[in-house]
């Protein structure tokens, strides 16, 4: 019963086991509560680290990695010590501020109790300040030591890859290997014997049941669990996720994670079964632990390769690969994963047994050749598949530049690794082979994550998606702006992925997970341009403030413009002016908050203000003038949104008053952009300033013998019956003059909107003409006027006769 209980507890522990990332060093454990340290302890640890660096000739890379970990821990403790003393120093300073300054000469002396308290506070503050300075000095020295360790590792790495041994093509290499092999095989046999003893101990009656349970669960995870999990993930992505590219990238990531988790947990279960009662020795435990970590990493790599190739589901394949190439490469991810496991186990085994130099070089040479053969076979398959596509006429006209660069880099890497092995520079060749594997892993992971980031943001901000429709309804975002937001966020996310991938790929020889994360975190270190500090963390905070502030201003403007202001008695132009002014004020407030998030003070941006003042004096003068004019238009409102204006030959309705210019829509629906300053400096005719009524007026010439009263009644009737003419003021028909046998009627009516005047006038003229003709009251035709010019004088040929 107790055995079953322990097995059940084992499964619970394994379910919470952490997933390990790619690298050789272990990820740091979660920080525990550390006891308070003293300055003496910090100085003692610093002296030990310095003593460890005194004799660098005897230090190996593992020793330097250990010293680096101790130095980082010391730096963290020193920083925590400073942070713990900072509140105490602030409290002492606050107490001294309460006491006030020391009385000057000639002033009454302070009380003895106050003087004693001031003296004690000054002493305590001096002690705290001294401790803080010493801790800060220790932190600074640790940073210098970390730089020194990095330089030593770099020198060691350069020495290793430049080391030359006998070439495998020479007999001296094989003679030396033959001399070292017996001793190395004996050490390896001892390690194998220790492993067999661990297996026999784990099969004892007290440990047999946990081992069996772990093995059964591990086999079930690999054989059944992985396939069941992939089917469940496929159904979830097909049924729960929106249609589009996000399904493919999400399923690919899920497949990679499920493969890593199932194989990694299976390896962890086997390790736990063997080490159920801590029966493994330290060396064997470290070797098996490295094997488990390699399984985690290689399983994730195999999952990424399977997800990208998708031989069983071609329609879900992310890269544009032919089915032929995908089938030919379907074994490559698995072989690559086992190659990584083999590299990790071989390196740790050679180190644990203390193999000789020639044996170590031989192992590295064999591993390099295996990597070269694997990469070469993949390159040959890719080339053959591309040639078949070209012959069939279905090859893409142009492949991406990064693909060509990656293939060219692999070809160069294969050449350099092969040349290094056969010329005796086996360490250099092994380094190139490892960098090729690292490059393949990093590039594949980066490709998958970039597609995932792009698909997530483009789907989330798609106008047709559910989230996109909610964003449009909630914040009033237009579809084009929504798509632009998704593209911008996708670009930012992929840029950060690329910035993190570059230091991981360019990591030095032997770099582990901690160092890779440290190199990536340096991207967020503080930079300075003069006195202006650039902190990437503050930039991210400022971006969040900018987005939140912009959304808040949009929401408030929409609420005012669509809900609150329409319920008031304000006219539409005044409502638009209020909303626009609020947008300006909100924009300025958001800008100030963004500067605050960036920790930018007035002194830091003084040079920017100086440059802007020069620019305003020369090139930005007109922009500032139009901006101020726009504010005056919104405040004084000589013209407002909805007015019908005429300025400089432009006549139409004001649709919008922007920061720099005003949009005027003419009768033909074209829009004229008029600078705001013209509305302040030029004469403007505002038809609707005092009222929204328009006037319709036309003149009707009729003969003198026309019945004027009858004509007046007909005209009145037509003008009163039109639906757009107003009753108050009522239409007017006046007899203007009697000249040349013609009487002229002046007809005037008023409409509610001046924009309807032209249409109403046309309707009235049509109807009046028809009514007058029907009543036998014709209009006067225009009088034809003939202008005769006198003939030109004729010149006489006789000079004695006068010209008539």
Which domains, and CATH codes, for the chain?
A: 34-102+111-161 (1.20.58), 199-460 (no CATH), 541-600 (no CATH), 619-690 (2.30.30.60), 694-774 (3.30.70.100)
Give whichever of 85-89, 118-122, 247-251, 743-747 has the largest mean pLDDT.
Answer: 743-747
Per-residue pLDDT, averaged over 672-694, amounts to: 78
Q: Residue 781's pLDDT is what?
A: 67
Pairing outcome for strands 644-647 and 685-686: antiparallel
Cα separation of 545 and 556, whole Å? 16
CB within 8 A of 692, min separation 6: which ones?
752, 753, 754
Residue predicted with more confidence, 340 or 740? 340
- Using left for φ > 0, alpha for ψ between -120 and 50, and beta otherwise, residue 244 falls in left
**The pLDDT of residue 134 is above 80:** yes
The conformation of residue 661, written as its DSSP 8-state character, comes to E
- Using left for φ > 0, alpha for ψ between -120 and 50, and beta otherwise, residue 649 falls in left
Question: 431 phi and psi, to 5 degrees?
Answer: -65, -45
Cα separation of 736 and 727, whole Å? 23
Is residue 364 within 8 A of residue 402, CB to CB? The reply is: no
**The pLDDT of residue 162 is above 70:** no
- Tokens found for residue 784: 């034809």
pLDDT tens digits, 545-603:
887 888 788 878 887 877 777 777 766 666 776 777 788 788 888 888 887 777 766 55
State the DSSP H helix or E strand holding residue 534, giving kind and residue range, or none if neither.
Answer: strand 532-534
Q: Residue 798's pLDDT is what?
A: 45
Radius of gyration of the chain (CA): 44
Cα separation of 633 and 674, whole Å? 13
Is residue 748 within 8 A of residue 731, CB to CB? The reply is: yes
pLDDT tens digits, 167-188:
788 888 788 778 777 877 887 8
The partner residues of 742 in beta bridges, in order of sequence, read 703, 739
Q: Residue 784's pLDDT is what?
A: 43
Cα separation of 58 and 51, whole Å? 13
3-state secondary structure 6-35: HHHHHHHHHHCCCCCCCCCCCCCCCCCCCC
Per-residue confidence band for 606, with pLDDT thresholds at 50, 70 and 90: low
Q: Residue 139's pLDDT is what?
A: 84
Question: 700 phi and psi, to 5 degrees?
Answer: -125, 110
State the DSSP H helix or E strand holding residue 712, giving kind and residue range, or none if neither.
Answer: helix 708-721
Cα separation of 272 and 10, whole Å? 9
The conformation of residue 802, written as its DSSP 8-state character, comes to P
Nearest Cα residue to 344 out of 414, 297, 281: 297
Q: Residue 161's pLDDT is what?
A: 58
**The pLDDT of residue 15 is above 50:** no
Q: Residue 103's pLDDT is what?
A: 76
CB within 8 A of 215, min separation 6: which ones?
269, 270, 273
Q: Residue 225's pLDDT is what?
A: 82
Helix (H, G, I), strand (E, B) or coil at 750: strand
Helix (H, G, I), strand (E, B) or coil at 707: coil
Q: Residue 56's pLDDT is what?
A: 67
Q: Residue 788's pLDDT is what?
A: 43
**The pLDDT of residue 135 is above 50:** yes
3-state secondary structure 456-484: HHHHHCCCCCHHHHHHHHHHCCCHHHHHH
Cα separation of 137 and 148, whole Å? 16
Read off the pTM: 0.56
Q: Residue 51's pLDDT is what?
A: 82
Q: What is the mean pLDDT of the chain?
A: 76
Is residue 188 within 8 A of residue 110, CB to CB? The reply is: no
Question: 135 phi and psi, to 5 degrees?
Answer: -65, -40
pLDDT tens digits, 620-645:
667 667 777 777 777 777 787 777 78
**The pLDDT of residue 407 is above 80:** yes
Where are the strands (E) in 556-613, listed by range? none
Q: Residue 692's pLDDT is what?
A: 66
Per-residue confidence band for 509, with pLDDT thresholds at 50, 70 and 90: very low
The H helix count followed by the E strand count for the chain is 24, 10
- Tokens found for residue 656: 């919008």
Percent of all residues in the chain with a pLDDT value above 70, rounded to a whole number: 80
Burial class (CB in 10 A: 0-12, 13-18, 19+), 698: middle
Q: Residue 747's pLDDT is what?
A: 92
CB within 8 A of 593, min separation 6: which ones?
545, 549
**The pLDDT of residue 792 is above 50:** no
Nearest Cα residue to 389 out of 287, 321, 467: 321
Least confident of 4-13, 225-234, 247-256, 411-420: 4-13
Cβ-based neighbour number of residue 534 at 10 Å:
13
Residue predicted with more confidence, 428 or 399? 428
């Amino acid at each position: 019963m107790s055995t079953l209980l322990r097995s059940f507890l084992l499964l619970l522990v394994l379910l919470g086991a952490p997933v390990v990332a790619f690298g050789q060093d272990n990820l740091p454990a979660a920080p525990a509560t550390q006891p308070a340290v003293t300055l003496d302890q910090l100085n003692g640890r610093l002296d030990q680290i310095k003593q460890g660096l005194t004799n660098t000739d005897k230090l190996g890379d593992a020793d330097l990695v250990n010293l680096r970990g101790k130095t980082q821990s010391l730096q963290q403790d020193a920083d925590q010590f400073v942070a713990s003393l900072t509140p105490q120093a602030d409290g002492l300073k606050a107490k001294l501020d309460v006491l006030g300054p020391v009385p000057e000469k000639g002033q009454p002396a302070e009380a003895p109790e106050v003087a004693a308290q001031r003296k004690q506070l000054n002493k305590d503050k001096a002690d705290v300040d001294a401790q803080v300075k010493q801790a800060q000095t220790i932190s600074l020295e640790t940073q210098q030591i970390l730089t020194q360790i990095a330089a030593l590792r770099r020198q060691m790495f350069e020495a290793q890859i430049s080391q030359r041994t006998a070439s495998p093509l020479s007999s001296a290499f094989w003679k030396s290997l033959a001399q070292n092999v017996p001793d190395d095989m004996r050490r390896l046999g001892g390690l194998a014997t220790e492993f067999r003893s661990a297996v026999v101990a784990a099969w004892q009656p007290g440990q047999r049941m946990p081992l069996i349970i772990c093995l059964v669960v591990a086999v079930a995870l690999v054989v059944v669990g992985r396939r069941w999990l992939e089917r469940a993930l496929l159904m979830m992505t097909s049924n729960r996720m929106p249609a589009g590219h996000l399904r493919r990238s999400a399923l690919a990531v899920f497949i990679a994670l499920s493969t890593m988790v199932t194989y990694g947990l299976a390896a962890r279960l086997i390790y736990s079964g063997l080490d159920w009662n801590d029966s493994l020795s330290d060396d064997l435990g470290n070797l098996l632990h490295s094997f488990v970590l390699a399984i985690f990493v290689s399983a994730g790599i195999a999952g990424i390769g399977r997800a990208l190739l998708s031989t069983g589901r071609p329609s879900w394949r992310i890269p544009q690969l032919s089915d032929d190439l995908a089938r030919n490469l379907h074994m490559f991810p698995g072989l690559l994963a086992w190659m990584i496991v083999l590299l990790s186990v071989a390196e740790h085994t050679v180190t644990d047994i203390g193999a000789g130099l020639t044996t170590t070089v031989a192992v590295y040479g064999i591993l390099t050749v295996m990597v070269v053969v694997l990469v070469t076979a993949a390159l040959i398959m890719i080339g053959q598949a591309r040639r078949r596509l070209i012959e069939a006429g279905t090859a893409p006209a142009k492949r991406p530049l990064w693909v060509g660069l990656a293939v060219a880099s692999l070809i160069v890497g294969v050449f350099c690794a092969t040349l290094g092995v056969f010329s005796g520079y086996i360490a250099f060749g092994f380094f190139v082979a490892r960098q090729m594997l690292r490059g393949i892993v990093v590039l594949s992971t980066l490709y998958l994550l970039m597609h995932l980031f792009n698909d997530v943001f483009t789907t989330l901000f798609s106008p047709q998606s559910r989230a996109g429709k909610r964003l449009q309804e909630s914040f009033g975002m237009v579809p084009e702006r929504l798509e632009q937001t998704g593209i911008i966020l996708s670009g930012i996310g992929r840029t950060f992925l690329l910035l993190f991938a570059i230091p991981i790929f360019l990591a030095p020889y032997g770099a582990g997970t901690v160092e890779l994360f440290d190199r990536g975190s340096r991207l967020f270190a503080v930079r300075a341009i003069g006195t202006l500090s650039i902190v990437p963390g503050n930039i991210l905070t400022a971006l969040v403030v900018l987005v939140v502030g912009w959304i808040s201003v949009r929401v408030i403007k929409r609420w005012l413009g669509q809900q609150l202001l329409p319920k008031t008695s304000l006219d539409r132009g005044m409502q638009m002016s209020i909303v626009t002014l609020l947008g300006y004020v909100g924009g300025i407030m958001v800008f100030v908050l963004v500067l605050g998030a960036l920790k930018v003070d007035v002194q830091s941006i003084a040079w920017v203000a100086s440059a802007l003042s020069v620019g305003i004096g020369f090139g930005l003068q007109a922009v500032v003038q139009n901006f101020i004019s726009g504010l005056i238009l919104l405040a004084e409102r000589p013209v407002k949104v909805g007015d019908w204006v005429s300025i400089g030959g432009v006549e139409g309705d004001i649709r919008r008053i922007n920061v720099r210019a005003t949009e005027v829509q003419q009768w033909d629906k074209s829009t004229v952009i008029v600078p705001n300053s013209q509305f302040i400096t030029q004469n403007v005719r505002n038809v609707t300033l005092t009222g929204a009524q328009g006037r319709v007026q036309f003149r009707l010439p009729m003969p003198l013998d026309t019945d004027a009263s009858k004509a007046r009644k007909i005209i009145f009737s037509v003008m009163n019956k039109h639906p757009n003419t107003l009753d108050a003021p009522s239409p007017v028909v006046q007899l203007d003059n009697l000249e040349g046998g013609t009487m002229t009627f002046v007809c005037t009516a008023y409409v509610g909107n001046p924009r309807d005047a032209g249409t109403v006038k046309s309707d009235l003229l049509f109807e009046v003409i028809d009514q007058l003709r029907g009543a036998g009251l014709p209009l006067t035709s225009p009088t034809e006027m003939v202008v005769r010019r006198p003939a030109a004088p004729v010149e006489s040929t006789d000079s004695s006769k006068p010209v008539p």
